[in-house]
Chains A and B, each alone.
Chain A
Amino acid sequence: MENKIDVAEVKLTAKDFSSDQDVRWCPGCGDYSILAQVQRTLPDIGKKKEDIVVVSGIGCSSRFPYYMNTYGFHSIHGRAPAIATGLKVARPELSVWVATGDGDLMSIGGNHFIHACRKNVDLKVLLFNNRIYGLTKGQYSPTSEKGKITKSSPYGSVDYPFNPLSLALGSDATFVARSIDREPKHLQEMIKRAAEHKGLAFIEIFQNCNIFNDGAYSHLTEKETKMDNVLVLEHKKPMLFGKNKEKGIKFDGFTPVVISLEDGKNSINDVMIHDEFDSNPIRAFILAHMTDDPALPTPIGIFRQILKETYGGGVQRQIDEVTEKKGKGNLEKLLFSGNTWVVD
């Protein structure tokens, strides 16, 4: 199956994708960076501006379409994947993006998300995960850590959080990736790769809410700590991290462990090689769950990418096959089909 994008006729710039509306996110919000990286990347995905649609639900992140000078639909809470599905199935030639947050996608819209993944609808889903409800002013979200103290959990949340990547993998999403608002180059690369993917592409973006959950990802974004805490996954490359790439991930059976390449006990050959295209999802699950163990670094990058027929492709194929077999529908014939009789 081909997985290449078309070539644009006219070279657009980030500015072409910026609408005339004032951006109303809080100063310092991670959303600004995501908006900027999307605007910088879209000129390179080979789509005309008018063929791009951004659909969103409700929440801070869902204001996204208003700031994009493309077609856009700011809808209702949680339903963006379903609206986007209808649009994409009706209009397969469009590039349809979903901008959503952890409350919007993982809570009220959870059902639509898993089914869009399962059906492999050709959507690009950007999850702005700040682990908090921002727009409603600071309640815990389905990705907030257990015990989190918020306005609605003054004694600590008793909920266990979702692992969005694991949920996407478990729903058989065909492209699953993670990036960080503070890693613009990496984020641009992920957006571009998602755009190229034929099928549902899911990117979890760690995004800082500096008002209600400031510093949620600081260990992954601050200079002093990030090299030791972030594992950048690259296809066919060993899983190395640390200031001098001196640490690696070894799979001890199904358990990832950190090994040092400096203690003389291990060599580069012991380090796991990442394979984005592994047809077996198990390793991607293991990587997704590395965040469960604070001793392990947090992977970013493409966890898994596979190709299979998209939902829209299947719908169109069936229409073509049935039309081929039965001939193009004829309304007059349809009206007069079945057991008819004539009254003279």
Chain B
Amino acid sequence: MDKNKKNVQDLKDVTIRFAGDSGDGMQLTGTQFSNTTAIVGNDLNTFPDYPAEIRAPAGTLYGVSGFQLHFSSSSIHTPGDSPDILIAMNPAALKINLKDVKKNAIIIINSDSFDGKNLKTAHYDSNPLEDGSLDGYQTFKVPITTLTANTLKDSKLSTKEVTRSKNFFALGLMYWMFNRPIEPTIEWLNSKFGKKPDILDANLKVLKAGYYFGETAELFTTRFSVAPAKLPKGTYKSISGNEATAIGLVAASELSGLPIFLGTYPITPASDILHYLSTYKNFGVKTFQAEDEISGVTAAIGAAYGGSLAITTTSGPGMALKTEAIGLAVITELPLVIINVQRGGPSTGLPTKTEQSDLLQAIYGRNGESPVCVIAASTPVDCFYMAIEAARLATKFMTPVVLLTDGFIANGSEPWRIPHVDELNKFEVKFETNPEGFYPYNRNDLLSRPWVKPGTPGLEHRIGGLEKANIFGNVSYDSENHHLMCNLRAQKIKNIQNEIPDAEVIGEHKGDLLVIGWGGTYGAITEAVANVRAQGVKVSQVHLKYLNPMPKNLGDILKGFKNVLVPELNLGQLSKILRIEYLVKTISYSKLKGLPFKSIELQNKILEIVGGGNGK
């Protein structure tokens, strides 16, 4: 370090993107860098972006996997619009990602991979390292494959295994460049590969080699420092939306006193919730990996009938398959938490990419008048709290509750100030046990019917998908009764309005422009609104987490604004609902690219509407 003294430059925030083949371990590299960055105390936000192919043919454009990470010394809400630094492990990764990076960005390239075959596979006619394509960027060509091989020349590992560990070289180099400790990753490697000493040893060596390469090679003259963010006091950890959802469900189980039953079928990007929950067996969690999506939801309905906190998890196509069963839960008025981690549709669509296009499906997508409660999480951490909320509303109102998250917040992560259990509100559930005056559809003040566990003596009764007589619960084809029951079920869902918080307005309560969003676009919209407000533009923001019913005060809020901008990762689904429900004119701003909004896109749209001329 003494002989090669390097400059240290302080930065406020940085966006890095790791990109390589889907088999190059970019997701792992990004996750390790994120975890270490979290421990260092930066605020951060991540965006894993990977292809649907597990191991696409090497070097192809469609096989490129990326992991973007934004970290800062202050509070941030997005994974960053454009990377300051790109690590490109092969020509395809460079080609796919170069268009996104900032001008004068640092590009670190595994130069070994820029050979004829890989260039051709990536559809490069000439070598971008030599033809001037990278003029205007700070390019560092590092022979990562060779340096990794040299580091491991005495190893017993096969050439394939040696090559595979090259991502740790890149990770080590980034740790050096951003002044991060390598110890957390060393610890992780020890716990992961403790039983495979050869692989452990190789990865440790390569990680350190990458780190020391930064220090000793004369290639790099500057390293960077990003000071810890000033976050509220507390104990933190970095958490992804799917993990937060799973832990939130375990918390809901404890807070309600109900055992968890998850009936589900693996589907991207929701499967991780199953993976996490299946490890919590000592919490009494029962996970049922069903034969199909329909069995997943119907098994959950069976468990709900039995008195469990019943959950089914899925993504768009699975949601479509569950439709009929959700209707059954509506008419039998059983509590059921349905989690849809949205992805690009229709049909199989874009399995690994994010979208918000299942809102109308969640609210309306069933036969008959079939109202359900629909809520949405806005950030990875919020998934924890909204999972608890879904369970609370489902059991209190004896109804299915759809919790919408999306691929972006499900896989993305951010620091979480961990709450203590006693900071969370209990919602203990009581089952009906008294035979006196018992009828299955005798409703309480909220219009919820009693929940009876089979096994309770004297309360034997039958429920089912046929219309039931009000109060008594026997099969009824009576026309007046059906009309009444449809209204009762609808009113019950409307009554949830009294249980949910009012919508909060950020900024003035009246004005020219309100930006209203829902779900996972919270970060980008919040950042965009904050940025234009910092420029003195008067614009307000509402972010919805309750979609059906919507907060009571929303109608009044909407009336206070001349324009209502609704940015969504769909073709204007919330926008349509607002128009129908509140008779307001909305401006829909859509994006369907399998990617989250960039805050700059939203800023430009806002400025266009308020006539700010984009500051020009």
Cβ of B19 to closest chain A Cβ, rounded Å: 25
Cβ of A47 to closest chain B Cβ, rounded Å: 10
The contact of A329 among B238, B280, B301, by CB within 8 Å, is: B280
Cβ of A6 to closest chain B Cβ, rounded Å: 14
What residues of B have a CB within 8 angstroms of the CB of A115 in the complex?
290-291, 295
Report the separation of the CA atoms of residues A114 and B298 in the bound assembly, to the nearest whole angstrom. Answer: 16
Could you tell me if A65 and B41 are in contact, using CB atoms closer than 8 angstroms?
Answer: no
Could you tell me if A340 and B299 are in contact, using CB atoms closer than 8 angstroms?
Answer: no
Could you tell me if B294 and A65 are in contact, using CB atoms closer than 8 angstroms?
Answer: no
**Interface-lining segment among B9-17, B44-52, B229-237:** B229-237
Known: A50-B454, A336-B418. A329 touches B303 (CB 8 A): no
Whether, in the assembled complex, A335 has its beta carbon less than 8 Å from a beta carbon of chain B, the answer is yes
Could you tell me if A50 and B280 are in contact, using CB atoms closer than 8 angstroms?
Answer: no
Could you tell me if B464 and A315 are in contact, using CB atoms closer than 8 angstroms?
Answer: no
In chain A, what residue has the closest Cβ to B232? A343
Could you tell me if B247 and A53 are in contact, using CB atoms closer than 8 angstroms?
Answer: no
What residues of A have a CB within 8 angstroms of the CB of B454 in the complex?
50-51, 53, 71, 87, 91, 94
Known: A86-B261, A87-B303, A91-B454. A344 touches B460 (CB 8 A): no
Whether, in the assembled complex, A75 has its beta carbon less than 8 Å from a beta carbon of chain B, the answer is yes
Contact residues, B309-341 vs A (CB, 8 A):
310, 324-325, 327-328, 332
Interface string of A310-336 (1 = CB under 8 A from B): 000001001100110111110110111
Whether, in the assembled complex, A21 has its beta carbon less than 8 Å from a beta carbon of chain B, the answer is yes
Could you tell me if B250 and A334 are in contact, using CB atoms closer than 8 angstroms?
Answer: yes
**Interface-lining segment among B209-217, B281-289, B540-548, B578-586:** B281-289
The contact of A111 among B41, B291, B458, B459, by CB within 8 Å, is: B291
Could you tell me if B288 and A341 are in contact, using CB atoms closer than 8 angstroms?
Answer: no
Known: A73-B463, A82-B294. A340 touches B418 (CB 8 A): yes
Known: A84-B302, A341-B235. A329 touches B458 (CB 8 A): no
Could you tell me if A82 and B302 are in contact, using CB atoms closer than 8 angstroms?
Answer: yes
What residues of A have a CB within 8 angstroms of the CB of B310 in the complex?
86, 90
Interface string of B244-273 (1 = CB under 8 A from A): 000100110010000101010000000000
The contact of A327 among B282, B421, B453, by CB within 8 Å, is: B282
Whether, in the assembled complex, A74 has its beta carbon less than 8 Å from a beta carbon of chain B, the answer is yes
What residues of A have a CB within 8 angstroms of the CB of B349 in the complex?
none
Report the separation of the CA atoms of residues A257 and B459 in the bound assembly, to the nearest whole angstrom. Answer: 53
Report the separation of the CA atoms of residues A68 and B306 in the bound assembly, to the nearest whole angstrom. Answer: 18
Whether, in the assembled complex, A79 has its beta carbon less than 8 Å from a beta carbon of chain B, the answer is yes
Interface string of B22-55 (1 = CB under 8 A from A): 0000000000000100110100000000000000
Could you tell me if B302 and A85 are in contact, using CB atoms closer than 8 angstroms?
Answer: yes
Could you tell me if A90 and B463 are in contact, using CB atoms closer than 8 angstroms?
Answer: no
Known: A94-B454, A343-B234. A74 touches B462 (CB 8 A): yes
Contact residues, B174-197 vs A (CB, 8 A):
184
Whether, in the assembled complex, A76 has its beta carbon less than 8 Å from a beta carbon of chain B, the answer is yes
In chain A, what residue has the closest Cβ to B465? A76
Could you tell me if A335 and B308 are in contact, using CB atoms closer than 8 angstroms?
Answer: no
Report the separation of the CA atoms of residues A86 and B332 in the bound assembly, to the nearest whole angstrom. Answer: 16
In chain A, what residue has the closest Cβ to B229? A343
Report the separation of the CA atoms of residues A328 and B254 in the bound assembly, to the nearest whole angstrom. Answer: 12
The contact of B284 among A83, A87, A329, by CB within 8 Å, is: A329
Whether, in the assembled complex, B160 has its beta carbon less than 8 Å from a beta carbon of chain A, the answer is no
Could you tell me if B237 and A66 are in contact, using CB atoms closer than 8 angstroms?
Answer: no
Report the separation of the CA atoms of residues A53 and B460 in the bound assembly, to the nearest whole angstrom. Answer: 9
Contact residues, A48-62 vs B (CB, 8 A):
48-51, 53, 55, 58
What residues of B have a CB within 8 angstroms of the CB of A89 in the complex?
261, 286, 288, 299, 303
Could you tell me if A90 and B237 are in contact, using CB atoms closer than 8 angstroms?
Answer: no
Known: A82-B294, A336-B418, A343-B41. A74 touches B466 (CB 8 A): yes
In chain B, what residue has the closest Cβ to A336? B418
Whether, in the assembled complex, A338 has its beta carbon less than 8 Å from a beta carbon of chain B, the answer is yes
The contact of A21 among B324, B325, B474, by CB within 8 Å, is: B474
Report the separation of the CA atoms of residues A270 and B280 in the bound assembly, to the nearest whole angstrom. Answer: 58
What residues of A have a CB within 8 angstroms of the CB of B39 in the complex?
339, 341
Could you tell me if B462 and A90 are in contact, using CB atoms closer than 8 angstroms?
Answer: no
Known: A76-B325, A90-B261, A319-B281. A340 touches B236 (CB 8 A): yes
The contact of A341 among B236, B251, B466, by CB within 8 Å, is: B236
What residues of A have a CB within 8 angstroms of the CB of B259 in the complex?
90
What residues of B have a CB within 8 angstroms of the CB of A344 in the complex?
233
Could you tell me if B474 and A86 are in contact, using CB atoms closer than 8 angstroms?
Answer: no
What residues of B have a CB within 8 angstroms of the CB of A322 in the complex?
281-282
Whether, in the assembled complex, B475 has its beta carbon less than 8 Å from a beta carbon of chain A, the answer is yes
Whether, in the assembled complex, B368 has its beta carbon less than 8 Å from a beta carbon of chain A, the answer is no
Could you tell me if A82 and B455 are in contact, using CB atoms closer than 8 angstroms?
Answer: no
Could you tell me if B231 and A83 are in contact, using CB atoms closer than 8 angstroms?
Answer: no
Contact residues, B415-446 vs A (CB, 8 A):
417-421
The contact of A74 among B233, B421, B464, by CB within 8 Å, is: B464
Whether, in the assembled complex, B292 has its beta carbon less than 8 Å from a beta carbon of chain A, the answer is yes
Report the separation of the CA atoms of residues A65 and B324 in the bound assembly, to the nearest whole angstrom. Answer: 20
Could you tell me if A82 and B460 are in contact, using CB atoms closer than 8 angstroms?
Answer: no
Could you tell me if B462 and A319 are in contact, using CB atoms closer than 8 angstroms?
Answer: no
What residues of B have a CB within 8 angstroms of the CB of A343 in the complex?
41, 228, 231-236, 417
Known: A322-B281, A342-B234, A342-B235. A91 touches B306 (CB 8 A): yes
Report the separation of the CA atoms of residues A338 and B474 in the bound assembly, to the nearest whole angstrom. Answer: 51
What residues of B have a CB within 8 angstroms of the CB of A138 in the complex?
none
What residues of B have a CB within 8 angstroms of the CB of A51 in the complex?
454-455
Whether, in the assembled complex, B383 has its beta carbon less than 8 Å from a beta carbon of chain A, the answer is no
Report the separation of the CA atoms of residues A341 and B324 in the bound assembly, to the nearest whole angstrom. Answer: 45
What residues of B have a CB within 8 angstroms of the CB of A76 in the complex?
298, 324-325, 327-328, 465
What residues of A have a CB within 8 angstroms of the CB of B288 in the complex?
85-86, 89
Report the separation of the CA atoms of residues A115 and B296 in the bound assembly, to the nearest whole angstrom. Answer: 12
Query: B41, B286, B421, B454: which has the most chain A beta carbons within 10 Å?
Result: B454
Query: B232, B259, B263, B282: which has the most chain A beta carbons within 10 Å?
Result: B282
Could you tell me if A86 and B300 are in contact, using CB atoms closer than 8 angstroms?
Answer: yes
Could you tell me if A83 and B184 are in contact, using CB atoms closer than 8 angstroms?
Answer: no
Whether, in the assembled complex, A2 has its beta carbon less than 8 Å from a beta carbon of chain B, the answer is no
In chain B, what residue has the closest Cβ to A327? B282
Cβ of A80 to closest chain B Cβ, rounded Å: 9
Whether, in the assembled complex, B523 has its beta carbon less than 8 Å from a beta carbon of chain A, the answer is no
Whether, in the assembled complex, B457 has its beta carbon less than 8 Å from a beta carbon of chain A, the answer is yes
Known: A334-B280, A335-B421. A71 touches B461 (CB 8 A): yes
* New A-B pairs, 14, CB < 8 Å, besides A72-B462, A83-B299, A90-B261: A21-B475, A50-B454, A82-B291, A85-B288, A86-B302, A88-B302, A111-B291, A114-B291, A319-B285, A332-B421, A336-B418, A338-B237, A339-B237, A340-B237
6 pairs, CB–CB < 8 Å, chain A vs chain B: A50-B460, A72-B460, A87-B303, A87-B454, A90-B307, A335-B420
